[in-house]
Structure 1
């Protein structure tokens, strides 16, 4: 079952269970999938589907930080619940040690920055946080 099919199935089940938060989160994901299909006249690849979730995870983390700054406990709780839903659809992300060893095994330290970034972002797309990958590449190339 593809990720898109799983989202559709879980959306229907969330509606039946009257789980409004999960239904709302999945509705937004479905909307992004549909918009992509209309704009590009093709379905998303698996990596593109995962990137939709990663983008929403990043937005939700930013919302949590902002809610903490203004002291809104209700928003913090809601966004933490939303974050749990989104993260349940993404694969386990690589940690810094795994990223570093992958990059070293593939001779990234001997590449130019532009080539290293292009290789790493392509190879680790959807498997690791892009900001962490970028930071590690810059450290390895020093």
Structure 2
């Protein structure tokens, strides 16, 4: 079952269970998917749907930081719950050690010698870890590994 179909099935299940939060999050993701399909004129692949889920997740994490710094405990709890729902659609995340190993291998492959080669490393690293690790964390790891 593809990710789009999984979202549809989970939406139906959330309706049956009257899980308003989960239903709301899934509807937002499905709306974003539908908008992208209209924009491109074609059905999206699972990777493209996964990208939309990641984008929504990033927005929630950014909002969470803003709510925490603003002292809005009510919105913090809601954002954390939404993040949990979105994370359930992502593949298993890489640990920092696993990410470090992959980044070290890619640094060796491209022959990176310094911080100025970060772009080359990241362009090769990101397709390999897409959906499995956060881009900011990946960049931090690469920065620490490059002299």
TM-score by length of 1: 0.89
Partners of 1:4 and 1:63 in 2: CA distance = 25
Residues 87-106 of structure 1 show CA distances to partners (whole Å, capped at 9, x for unaligned) of 11111211221111112233
Show the counterpart of 1:130: 135
Deviant stretches of 4+, over 3 Å: none
Q: What RMSD, in angstroms, separates the aligned Cα atoms of the two structures?
A: 1.7
Partners of 1:113 and 1:69 in 2: CA distance = 31
Question: Which segment drifts farther, 8-17 or 63-72?
Answer: 63-72
Partners of 2:142 and 2:3 in 1: CA distance = 30
Show the counterpart of 1:93: 93
Q: Structure 1, unaligned stretches of length 5 or more?
A: none
- Alpha carbons 1:110, 1:141 under 8 Å: kept: no
Partners of 1:70 and 1:138 in 2: CA distance = 31
Show the counterpart of 2:40: 40
Aligned-pair CA distance for 1:2: 0.8
Q: Structure 2, unaligned stretches of length 5 or more?
A: none
